[in-house]
Amino acid sequence: MDADKKAVPELESYEAIGEFWDTHSLADYWDETEPAEFEISPTARRRYLVAVDPGLLKRARSVARQRGLTTEGLINLLLEQRLHEVENSLS
């Protein structure tokens, strides 16, 4: 490696890795990268369009933001919890 080239440090957590890349440019470390191969699973998560009342969506966005979640994440969490309650009440 050239003396003026930087080495990516060994970091011990995802948080440390995130903090590092928040303050550094990949362009400075491009020579250290390697090609990667991967496949996308056909069972990977998919998105579905569902009509949501605009007022309900506004409330969901507000709650999600307050809790540090994405709106999608909050809606999935709430739907999972409510479905679990409904399923249990049917048994």
Residues of the chain with pLDDT under 50: none
Q: How far apart are CA 50 and CA 40, in angstroms?
A: 24
Cβ–Cβ < 8 Å for 71, 60: yes
Q: What is the pTM of this model?
A: 0.50
Task: Dihedral sign for Cα 61, 63, 67, 72, please.
Answer: negative
How confident is the model at residue 5, as a pLDDT?
A: 65
Report the percent of the chain where pLDDT is more than 70: 95
Element holding 77 (H helix, E strand): helix 71-90
Tokens of 46: 């998919």
pLDDT at 41: 81
Other CB atoms within a 10 A radius of the CB of residue 23 amount to 7
